[in-house]
Amino acid sequence: MTTRLRRAGLASRAFPSPAGLPAAAGGSGRSGKIGNMPADAATSPSAGRTAQLTVGVLGGTGDQGRGLGRRLAQAGHRIIIGSRDAGRAEAAAASVGDPPQVTGAANADAARDADLVIAAVPYEGHQALLAALAGPLAGKIVVDCVNPIGFDSRGAYAVPVPEGSAAQQAAAVLPDSTVVGAFHHVSAVQLLDDSVTDLGQDVLVLGDDRAATDLVQALADRLPGVRGVYAGRLRNCGQIEALTANLVSVNRRYKAHAGLRVTDIG
Ligand SMILES: NC(=O)c1ccc[n+]([C@@H]2O[C@H](COP(=O)([O-])OP(=O)(O)OC[C@H]3O[C@@H](n4cnc5c(N)ncnc54)[C@H](OP(=O)(O)O)[C@@H]3O)[C@@H](O)[C@H]2O)c1
């Protein structure tokens, strides 16, 4: 892990908490702020400050939430596993890592106490949960990995979302948060399998705020063998979510846990 962190320029820095960062000096020059965080929390060389983020995971009791939580904990993050039931969150947290680095809490407390929050709930419960948490999520980056996918006798298919995508739906109910789409194609099976030491794929990161997408790319980079790649504005997230249905088909045909690689971007 040390080699990976050093490669990412993260190994030897002392990072202040995002809330305590000085006013933006560099940054993208587009938004100036990432929610409550100064823009330079996301940009190189201060991308290293990503390492200090406390990450909350809504629906963190599920496979995807536990998988992302586990890998980010292994990368050094403080993780708060969220659930509709605090007891269930605590039990799941114990399988992800050890306190005080990894703890469990009700979703609302995870949202309140984290710097950045990943929404890892099924599409069916996504809109209502986020709308109910708009207050504690205000001023924060919310990373949406939700794939609106259905299954029938012919396999997986994309479910139409009125707002265009689950991520846009999140943005609609969270007007005071900065929503970024990411981690749609990373298999929970692989995230949870400690024998997988190199996930070997790109994470497509979408959003309308350059500083926020830069930060989430840096967060993705912290997973072993993963590169965060900017892939467009939030309005383009629908096809990214829908593509998961194609990956499910790939997985079924080839008995795999397929991920994506983008070519020719260095
Ligand atoms: N699994 C994967 O490989 C994978 C990969 C990429 C993206 N994703 C996406 O990540 C999300 C989570 O996937 P998952 O496989 O972890 O799903 P999951 O296990 O079905 O659900 C995750 C958690 O969401 C909570 N939840 C369930 N129904 C809810 C509702 N109606 N309202 C609020 N919370 C609810 C549950 O936690 P509590 O009961 O404890 O609250 C559950 O443990 C999905 O949107 C999926 O598309 C999954």
Write out pLDDT tens, residues 47-84.
567 889 999 999 999 999 999 999 999 999 999 999 99
* Residue of 27 and 91 predicted with greater confidence: 91
- Is a pLDDT exceeding 60 seen at residue 18? no
Mean per-residue pLDDT, 148-158 = 98
Burial class, 80, CB count within 10 angstroms (exposed 0-12 / middle 13-18 / buried 19+):
buried
pLDDT at 34: 54
Q: Is the pLDDT higher at 133 or at 29?
A: 133
**pLDDT given for residue 26 in this prediction:** 27
**CA-closest residue to ligand 1 atom 13:** 64
User: Higher model confidence: residue 16 or residue 104?
Assistant: 104
Mean pLDDT of the chain: 86
pLDDT over 70, % of the chain: 82
Calculate the CA 260 to chain-centre distance.
16
Name the CA dihedral angle for 10, 16, 22, 27, rounded to a multiple of 10 degrees.
30
Centre of ligand 1 from the C-alpha of residue 123, in Å: 8
Separation of CA 145 and ligand 1 centre (Å) = 10
Mean pLDDT computed over 24-37: 37
When pLDDT is cut at 50, 70 and 90, the band that residue 19 belongs to is very low
Pocket, ligand 1, Cβ cutoff 6 A? 59, 61-65, 83-85, 88, 120-125, 129, 145-147, 184, 186-188
CB atoms within 10 A of CB 225: 14
pLDDT score for 47? 54
Collapsed DSSP state (helix, strand, coil) of residue 43: coil
Confidence of residue 39 (pLDDT cuts 50, 70, 90): very low
- Alpha-carbon gap, residue 84 to 187, rounded angstroms: 23
Amino acid at 123: Y
Ligand 1 atom closest to the Cα of residue 241 is 47
Q: Which residue spans within 13-100 are E strands per DSSP?
A: 33-34, 37-38, 54-58, 78-83
Is 58 in contact with 118 (CB distance < 8 Å)?
A: yes
What is the pLDDT averaged over residues 3-12? Answer: 28
Top pLDDT among 50 and 168 is at 168
Write down the pTM of the prediction: 0.87
Structure tokens given for 241: 């979510």
**Band of the pLDDT at 43, cuts 50, 70, 90?**
very low
Reported as a single tens digit per residue, the pLDDT across 213-259 is 999 999 999 999 999 999 999 999 999 999 999 999 999 999 999 99
Count of C-beta atoms within a 10 Å radius of residue 138: 14
Instruction: Tell me the per-residue pLDDT of 111-135, one tens digit each, with 9 for 90 and over.
Output: 999 999 999 999 999 999 999 999 9
> Looking at residues 151-167, what average pLDDT do you find?
98
Residue 145 pairs in a beta bridge with: none
Task: For residue 266, name the pLDDT band (cuts at 50, 70, 90).
Answer: confident
33, pLDDT greater than 70: no
Contact between 239 and 214 (Cβ < 8 Å): no
How far, in Å, is the centroid of ligand 1 from the Cα of 266? 33
What CATH number should be reported for the domain whose range is 3-22+34-262? 3.40.50.720
The domain limits of the chain are 3-22+34-262
Ligand 1: nearest atom to the Cα of 67: 16
CA distances from 181 to 29, 206, 257 (A): 21, 5, 20
